[in-house]
Amino acid sequence: MLSDCMSPSRDLSETWRSVLGRLEIEMLAANYETWMRGTTPLRMEDGTVIVQARRAMGLEWLNDRLSVVVRRALHAVTGEELDVRFVPPGATPTAEASIPAIPEGPRRGPVTGTINCNQTFDRYVEAAGNRVAYRSALAMAEGEDGAVNALFIHGSPGMGKSHLLHALACRVADAGRSVACFSAEAFTTRYQTALRSSTAEQFQDAVRSADLFVIDDVQYLAGKKGTLDELGHTIDAVLNAGGRVAFGSEVPPRDLDFPERISSRLAQGLVVRIEPFRREERRRFVEWLCQDRRAAFPGWAVDRIAGLELPSVRLLQSAVNAALAHARYGQLEPADLDGAIGHIAVAQTPASCSATELLDAIARHFHLSGKDLAGRKRTGPLTEARSAAVAVLHGRGHSYGEIAAMLGGRDRSTVRELATRGETILAATPELRTLSA
């Protein structure tokens, strides 16, 4: 239980920090920064946590709308059904009651580097494209018989590689074993700092003696000869001592710009790729996110989001966040949601993409496929999408003849007419207009 002689209680403050950490992940960044960052717990009153807001303005909204989210986070952290009430700045803290302390688990093993234990196996949505990576990481974490001692997970950005690596590291640390976990940048910085401060031996002892050694975004070590040499020696030391290693990368070991002696070490265990969700898996993920955040979307909204062939889980989460924001403010209408998630679909298209990739991006904006644009149907959305496609491609320097061929062999005069209409569409749609630059 918390001490009654502190104002505010140290345990209450520590518990509230954990609540804020959870809210920072669950809430939209702008809302968290506006409403939650800098709030201070004052006391307990009959099962209600009294919290001082940053400003007096907006207290009614905080207590009427945001308290539901905060109560859920309090329950997740403490295991108790507690209420929350926000008060204006200047309120006097007292210690009239106590809040249950965070339940204690097994003593965590030593950690060198940083692990994010909000990313757990329980919060990872298993699907066909990530199943091997997920189950292999879980088996490694549990020390199952037959589990690999070296795991290399690769795939496009935002596919959940970091989530698996941190879930693995946290599970191992929670079992009382030692963990060394870094991003490639952090590993480089820590190693170079140790060299300059003559503490390289201590750093090497901590990392090489770890039961689990993890490096994320390992591709960023390319060209760093000294750090790569240290990486190779660390892998050898950890494995030779009976430990395990795990890495995350955007590309497989053979495609890394590393010396062969390092690439071969990275490839010596299980190398597995994470693939994007399929449509039904996207639907399950959207429904899971809604359930996790205690939100409900109408079926048409779930269909629209699941229909986006986005290349990463991170972008799919962004689409759900956009829908949640519109729902929160009473604006979850088809047109508003289409604009928000269409912008997300287009924004992920690189400026140097091919004509086919451009057509696919424009089609996604209108909830169509690239093949639809080359077809013969003339429904409203298809005509608008083709018009926008012609304007974008012409803005990229393609001739009307080339565009006509791309769109199923249409007549050039038809393509010119579509271009005129497309310019009007682009003028009213900034996210599409950027593609023509």
3-class SS letters over 288-341: HHHHHCCCCCCHHHHHHHHCCCCCCHHHHHHHHHHHHHHHHCCCCCHHHHHHHH
Each residue's pLDDT, cut to its tens digit, for the chain (437 residues) gives 333 333 345 578 888 888 888 887 777 776 777 788 889 998 888 889 999 988 877 788 788 778 888 988 888 888 888 899 999 887 655 544 444 554 555 577 889 999 988 889 988 989 999 999 999 999 999 988 888 999 999 988 888 999 999 999 999 999 999 999 999 999 999 999 999 999 999 999 999 999 999 999 999 999 999 999 999 999 999 999 999 999 999 999 999 999 999 999 999 999 999 998 888 888 888 888 887 777 777 888 888 888 777 667 887 888 888 887 877 777 778 777 776 666 665 555 544 456 777 777 788 777 777 777 878 777 767 888 888 888 888 777 777 777 888 888 788 788 888 888 888 887 777 666 656 55
Question: How large is the angle between the packed helices 313-328 and 299-306, nearest 10 degrees?
Answer: 150
> What Cα–Cα distance (Å) separates residue 83 from each residue in 66, 181, 385?
12, 37, 50
- SS3 state of residue 233: helix
Q: What is the pTM of this model?
A: 0.56
Q: Environment class of residue 149 by beta-carbon count within 10 Å: exposed (0-12), middle (13-18) or buried (19+)? A: middle
Q: What angle do CA 226, 232, 234 make, to 5 degrees?
A: 100
